[in-house]
Amino acid sequence: MSGNKEVERSSRLSATVRTVDGVRVVTLRGEIDHTAREVLGQALAPEGAAPAPRVVADLTGVGFMDSSGINVFITAHRRIGEIGGQLLLAGAGEAVRRVLALVGVDTVIPCHPTLAQALRA
């Protein structure tokens, strides 16, 4: 496992990136809304760099997400998929799970109850 690297912060979201067994793990804390789009996008699949082949977004610390987050996750899913990779979501609380299910993201991007389960998937 390599060291943690805080990518950025918005006023409502922080993203810390680390590598676990070759998987890019993005640990998110706070709220995902329109002010956090850039922070989230850069953490998942940085512009100007090839995306990691496997990325897990750890949503354990996220208490709120609106459609801005959904759009960023779908965009990252497509970008990572273009290289044959995979984006997985892990640890979403009830409020965030509801949003993911409401718009059907959970049928497009694999969602796991815990980070450990996502890393084993």
| Tens digit of pLDDT at every position of the chain (121 positions) | 456 665 555 668 999 999 999 999 999 999 999 999 999 999 999 888 888 899 999 999 999 999 999 999 999 999 999 999 999 999 999 999 999 999 999 999 999 999 999 999 9
Distance, in Å, from the CA atom of 107 to the CA atom of 24, rounded to the nearest integer, reads 22
pLDDT at 101: 95
The phi, psi pair for 32, rounded to 5°, reads -105, 105
Residues β-bridged to residue 30:
13, 62
pLDDT at 12: 87
> 45-57, pLDDT tens digit by residue?
988 888 889 999 9
Q: What is the CATH number of the domain that holds 98?
A: 3.30.750.24
pLDDT at 9: 59
For the chain, the domain total comes to 1
Distance, in Å, from the CA atom of 60 to the CA atom of 82, rounded to the nearest integer, reads 27
The phi, psi pair for 116, rounded to 5°, reads -60, -40
The pTM (predicted TM-score) of the whole model is 0.89
* Domain interval for residue 73: 5-120
Distance, in Å, from the CA atom of 110 to the CA atom of 89, rounded to the nearest integer, reads 6
- Nearest Cα to 59, choosing from 121, 102, 118, 120? 118
